[in-house]
Amino acid sequence: MTPEAPSVGAASPSQDSASRTASYLDEAERYSARNYLPLPVVLDRGEGAWVWDVEGNRYLDMLSAYSALNQGHRHPEIMAAAQTQMERLTLTSRAFHNDQMGPFLRELCEATGYDAALPMNTGAEAVETAVKMVRKWGYETRGIPAGQAEIVVCEDNFHGRTTTIVGFSSDEQYREGFGPFTPGFKLIPYGDLDALKAALGPNTAGFLVEPVQGEAGVVVPPEGYLAEAAALCRDNGTAFVADEIQTGLGRTGRLFCCEWEDVHPDVLVVGKALGGGVYPVSAVIADAEFMDVFRPGDHGSTFGGNPLGAAVGRASLRVILEEDLSRRSDELGQWFADELRAIRSPHVEEVRGKGLMIGVVIRESSGTARPFCEALQQRGILAKETHQQVVRFAPPLTVDRAALEDALVDIRVVLGG
């Protein structure tokens, strides 16, 4: 290493800790694309529901990497599975079989009650896969004329960042400057059954929906919406596709949010916590009627179903089930949301959510949610604003009640209750 190019990671002991944070922030500012606006905290360690910054301060992680850390940071069982697998075999590509993928997909199907699963890596890839699946299913099974398949989606959706997916976003910022976009999508208001009914036609192959809209600000649809929407789709011969990448795997107090209304989606899209906070693992899960549209060469992914990801996915799912994290999320979430609602704050318009997926909506007259998140950071709580007005609280589902009780003391101060 030359003296002209000091590595911040090798900061000298004489450098005080606050300046270590500053130099990390400078480095990121200088060398990274500006596509995020992170809170000014630099983390270097995590365990369970806790993370530490480079200055040694401890924080309660109330974001859980957008619910990719439902099992907490470095869950011992997931770490052990990853380490064991890393010492055996990590990547084969799908040109060959490996001994982890089959068991992983079987366990996923057994836990969810479907025939088959198709492994991918990121959430957006799984959504893209579901789009391809229902389009082809529409042509082959529903007899939709070539090139005419339509997929209905909801306003304020978030399904990822690929060009096709942002093309059907209603958020101008997600789209602006990135066109031209893939045709074949129709936007309707979220939670509106009449709009869905009107939008469904002979060429509607699928309805793609989040059971709770996370990135839109934890928007919970009216009760009965999912069940009614699924019934409308069934009557129309349209595939009901649930994007449970964020709401799934225990986050909302059920293994999948659709279970709240006894809905068995035709196509279930999962990701985030399927990778246990270690590795990107996503999947599209469906019955044979849908899965069978894919034939050799139709679709693929170099890393999808790789043995390391599959081993991590198996452990991630096992931890959710064995530790009954869905029930924990349900019980802690109801109690925590009630405590938040009990805070008499002039700034809070509404507290909403399901399980440990909770949004606190800040009144516009009190400004945006950002300064509240910054104030929480000062008090050792990492939360992130979503869509200007909402502070999202979504800690790892392994968090203990005492940690949340302590957090409430600080949240009460910050919200001025």
Ligand X SMILES: *Cc1c(COP(=O)(O)O)cnc(C)c1O
Contact between residue 352 and residue 220 where contact means Cβ atoms under 8 Å apart: yes
**Tokens in use for 125?**
């890839």
Q: Which of 227, 235, 155 is nearest to 202 (CA)?
A: 235
Active-site residue identified among 272, 290, 330, 336? 272
The residue within the footprint of ligand X, chosen from 217, 271, 276, 353 (CB under 6 A), is 271
Q: Does 66 bind ligand X (CB under 6 A)?
A: yes
Q: Which of 354, 352, 353 is nearest to 330 (CA)?
A: 354
Closest approach of ligand X to the CB of residue 123, in Å: 2
Give the burial string for 247-271 (b: 16+ CB within 10 Å, else e).
bbbbbbbbbbbbbbbebebbbbbbb
The residue within the footprint of ligand X, chosen from 73, 136, 159, 347 (CB under 6 A), is 159
Q: Which residue's CB is nearer to ligand X, number 126 or number 200?
A: 126
The residue within the footprint of ligand X, chosen from 24, 137, 158, 168 (CB under 6 A), is 158
Active-site residue identified among 243, 256, 303, 384? 243
Q: Which of residues 69-128 bind ligand X (CB under 6 A)?
A: 122-124, 127
Residue 132 designated active-site: no
Q: Does 160 bind ligand X (CB under 6 A)?
A: yes
The residue within the footprint of ligand X, chosen from 246, 306, 345, 398 (CB under 6 A), is 246
Give CA 133 to chain center in angstroms: 21
- Inter-CA distances, 149 with 7, 202, 229, Å: 53, 9, 19
Closest approach of ligand X to the CB of residue 126, in Å: 8
DSSP 382: E
Residue 158 designated active-site: yes
Closest approach of ligand X to the CB of residue 182, in Å: 16
Residue 384 designated active-site: no
Contact between residue 294 and residue 137 where contact means Cβ atoms under 8 Å apart: no
Residue 179 neighbours by CB distance under 10 Å = 10
Type and span of the H or E element at 154:
strand 150-154
Residues in the interface with ligand X (CB under 6 A) total 15
Q: Does 214 bind ligand X (CB under 6 A)?
A: yes
What positions carry a catalytic annotation? Answer: 158, 243, 272
The residues that touch ligand X, with contacts defined as CB under 6 A, are 66, 122-124, 127, 158-160, 210, 214, 243, 245-246, 271-272
